[in-house]
């Protein structure tokens, strides 16, 4: 296999860059050291059992005005009081 670009980190920025490069016709590979993708958009369970926490949740307030969300036509849904932004 060959790739035009190899991106290190499957966080929001790495996945966004990959989407734009692919839209431009480039073959990309995204690699991630962690077991889960998402970077700053990932929730964790650092405190008490049963609690889920996103230490960077303040960025979610900007999703409705994000040019990336509109440009890549990413759906925003909020079932069960959780916000999801993803590829349809």
The distance of Cα 31 from the centroid of its chain, to the nearest Å, equals 13
The rounded mean pLDDT for the chain is 78
Backbone angles phi, psi at 85, to 5 degrees: -125, 125
pLDDT of residue 62: 66
The secondary structure of 13-40 as a DSSP string is HHHHHHHHHHHTT--EEEE-SSSS-BGG
- Give the model's pLDDT for residue 4: 98
Nearest to 87 by CA among 16, 5, 3: 16
| The pTM of the whole model exceeds 0.85 | no
Note the pLDDT tens digit of each residue in 43-52. Answer: 677 677 777 7
pLDDT digits (tens, 9 = 90+) for 8-35: 999 888 988 999 999 999 999 999 998 8
């Amino acid at each position: 296999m060959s790739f035009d670009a190899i991106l290190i980190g499957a966080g929001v920025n790495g996945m966004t860059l990959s989407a734009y490069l692919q839209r431009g016709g480039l073959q990309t590979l995204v690699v991630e050291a962690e077991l889960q993708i998402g970077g700053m958009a990932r929730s964790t369970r650092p405190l008490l059992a049963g609690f889920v926490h996103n230490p960077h949740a303040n960025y979610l307030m900007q999703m409705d005005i994000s040019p990336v969300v509109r440009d890549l036509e990413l759906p925003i849904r909020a079932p069960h009081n959780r916000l999801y932004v993803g590829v349809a």
